Amino acid sequence: MQARGQTPGQIAILRWYPANRTVTFATGKAPAGLAFDGTYVWIANAYGNTVTRLRASDGNLAGTYPVGDWPCGVAFDGAHIWVANETSNNISELRASDGTLLATYSTGVTPTGVAFDGSDIWVANSSSGTVIKLSPAGGAILATVPVAYGPRGLAFDGAHIWVTSYGSNFVTKIRASDASVLGTYTVGAYPVAVAFDGSNIWTANSRDNTVTRLSLAGAVIGTYTVGTQPYGLVYDGANIWVANAGSNNVTKLRAADGRLLGAFPAGSQPWAAAFDGANIWVTNFSSNTVSKM
């Protein structure tokens, strides 16, 4: 029976969230970052030095693959999975079709975040305060960009890379084509994650329990209260979902105006979030699980 007031389209993509259901699947130890490749969700297991591949449709385990030490950031480039290995100071390239490790490339010190801009791979090196642009064909470093201390989260807006720096409360805008810095903008306290919603940039500010929405020109449009210690966020086409590591839940905000639409329980210490086209996935760092909602 169709839910009252809901369209078939909303029901088809599971967006009647007052009746939201969450399913949990086991991962490796301390799941951190994750990415969706069109069929599978890839999860970096920080304490296991592995990535887990789960089929998005049903959560079935499709494989577990070794990478470097303390893997945390994950990105998909259309054919390969890239994993930032924080304590081995490198990045792993795996073939998405079968998980084969193809290469490992050195980066700066403490790589934590990784993103793909349609052509190249970008890596945030937290301790060295740099972002590198890396060629996916051979791993050559094309540019090294100094940014504010503690770069971590990365997002691509179609022309620029946006980088959060948790040690400086800044987000930096870098032109992807030539790696030039176009601006540095103040957001909330200890920004660790960033997302693009098609029009604006959002940052998760872990120490003041907020998210900030900025225009592409860097102007602050709004600041919105979420759960405790927001650590990850993702855009689903209409809403921003925020993983709150300190309150063990996920906050949903309407992207158009930041209105709070709900908060949903997750596992222990939800860390990062991804969208598979129909569902939100959240890694639960301290319970060794991932939630699908």
Please tell me whether the overall predicted TM-score, pTM, comes out greater than 0.85 for this model. Answer: yes
- Is residue 16, in this structure, part of any structural domain at all? no
| Dihedral angle of Cα 27, 29, 33, 36, to the nearest 10 degrees | -20
Tokens encoding 161: 């890379």
User: What pLDDT does residue 113 have?
Assistant: 97
- Is residue 195, in this structure, part of any structural domain at all? yes
- Is residue 284, in this structure, part of any structural domain at all? yes
- Is residue 8, in this structure, part of any structural domain at all? no
User: What pLDDT does residue 23 have?
Assistant: 95
| Residue range of the domain that includes 205 | 187-293
User: What pLDDT does residue 22 have?
Assistant: 87
pLDDT > 90: percent of the chain: 92
- Is residue 39, in this structure, part of any structural domain at all? no
- Is residue 271, in this structure, part of any structural domain at all? yes
SS3 content of the chain, % helix, strand, coil (to 5): 5, 55, 45
The mean of the pLDDT values for the chain is 93
**Tens of pLDDT, residues 116-171:** 999 999 999 999 999 999 999 999 999 999 999 999 999 999 999 999 999 999 99
Query: Would the pLDDT of 203 be above 50?
Result: yes
- Is residue 220, in this structure, part of any structural domain at all? yes
- Report the pLDDT averaged over residues 215-236: 98
- CATH number for the domain spanning 292: value is 2.120.10.30
Could you give the C-alpha distances from 61 to 21, 48, 70, 167, 211, in angstroms and in order?
20, 16, 21, 37, 33
d(CA 185, CA 187): 6
**Tens of pLDDT, residues 7-27:** 434 433 334 344 457 899 999
- Is residue 204, in this structure, part of any structural domain at all? yes
d(CA 99, CA 266): 28
User: What pLDDT does residue 13 have?
Assistant: 36
**Tens of pLDDT, residues 51-103:** 999 999 999 999 999 999 999 999 999 999 999 999 999 999 999 999 999 99
**Total domain count, the chain:** 1
User: What pLDDT does residue 161 have?
Assistant: 98
